[in-house]
Structure 1
């Protein structure tokens, strides 16, 4: 094997690695907003309503809201498989908060994105494991 052949093989290998890295990077949602202060949003009803109205197509969206809305249904349906670790942790925090403090918003979102209740039951069961009490329907 000549040096030229070895160089060509290395170049091909490098190219394949680059392609694999791009493919893997596309398997996750952008981490651009992973450092957003969820506590600030959850503790400020005006901000929370702004985001929930955006997601529910009931109001305008800022850049973060548009990003969330564009991936929310897919994330719900595939168990957040493309979410970063920060996004999964944040999703649990938001779900817990909505169930405990904003049940009407939680129910409106689950009605829109999970009308059959398949994923709602899964997420609520996980919330119960974290100590969240789910009020009965009509409560």
Structure 2
């Protein structure tokens, strides 16, 4: 009798663990824009400033810009845990490039999305590790 109760409890435990795993599984952001050539955007000042104007509420947004704008706050706060691998690499490249080539823009974006400087330190430390001097 005890054996059957223990078997039932262990089966219930396994089922609960599986359900918990499903609930805790992190849903990724859409990969719809993963193939956007962000390096080309970074190298084209007009495009880069267009995207930054979108993020800073200074201009119109493309569909890609809207998607970034909708998710940027959460992505900053959770270390991009819902990002695809391509998105994570893109974000590292973009942050590095903007800090290095457009420090005033980096400040403006971080002032808007991280006014208390909570997340800025983390990303600036990343930049330093990548050999990027922050002014």
Which TM class, normalised by the smaller chain length? Answer: 0.7 to 0.9
Distance 1:85 1:123 in 2: 17
Q: Could you say which residue in structure 1 is the equivalent of 2:128?
A: 128
Which residue of 1 is the match for residue 69 of structure 2?
69
Partner of 1:80: 80
CA RMSD of aligned residues (A): 1.9
Segments of structure 1 that go 5 or more residues without pairing to the other structure are 1-15
| Structure 2: gaps (5+ residues) | 1-17
Question: After the TM superposition, which parts of structure 1 deviate over 4 Å for at least 4 consecutive aligned residues?
Answer: none
2:41 corresponds in structure 1 to: 41
Taking structure 2 as the reference length, the TM-score comes to: 0.81
Q: CA deviation at 1:80?
A: 0.6
- What does residue 8 of structure 2 align with? none
What aligned pairs does 1:99-138 form with structure 2 within 5 A after superposition?
Answer: 99-135=99-135
Superimposed CA distance per residue, residues 39-81 of structure 1 (whole angstroms, 9 cap, x where no aligned partner): 1100000000110000111100011000110000110111111
For the residues of structure 2 that align with 1:56 and 1:91, how far apart are their CA atoms? 17
